[in-house]
């Protein structure tokens, strides 16, 4: 099992929010929209690697997308909205069992 960090939840939530396959630039842009910050290369690449290894995301010809495990998580978050963004982050962190640093 991967040891996830907070930024992994950020990457995953950006992909959930995008609702379609998206490239690295799109993930960073969506992450900026969600968190008003730009993820650095190690946050992005590390998150993509760990999330792929754990089966949450897949890389396709058109970018990164949710795998079945990621879609199940996304479906479980459907009742939360942008007004509850902190709850979204918390729910994704809890699913990934993010270690507090």
Question: Cα 2 vs. chain centroid, distance in angstroms?
Answer: 14
What tens digit of pLDDT does each residue of 55-70 get? 999 999 999 999 999 9
**In the chain, which stretches have pLDDT less than 70?**
1, 81-83, 100-101
What are the residue boundaries of the structural domains of the chain, listed by start? 6-96
How many CB atoms are closer than 10 A to CB 94?
A: 10
* Residue 68: both structure tokens together: 């079945």
Average pLDDT, the chain: 90
Question: Cα 35 vs. chain centroid, distance in angstroms?
Answer: 12
Please check whether the domain covering 6-96 is classified as CATH 1.10.10.10.
yes
Residue 85 sits at the vertex; the CA angle it makes with 79 and 86, to the nearest 5 degrees, is: 115
């Amino acid at each position: 099992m991967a040891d996830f960090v907070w930024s992994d939840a950020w990457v995953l939530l950006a992909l959930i929010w995008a609702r379609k396959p998206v490239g690295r630039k799109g993930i960073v842009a969506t992450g900026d929209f969600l968190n008003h910050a730009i993820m650095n290369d190690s946050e992005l690449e590390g998150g993509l690697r760990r999330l792929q290894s754990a089966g949450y995301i897949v890389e396709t010809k058109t970018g990164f997308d949710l795998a079945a495990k990621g879609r199940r998580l996304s479906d479980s978050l459907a009742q939360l909205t942008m007004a509850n963004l902190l709850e979204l982050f918390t729910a994704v962190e809890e699913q990934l069992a993010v270690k507090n640093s």
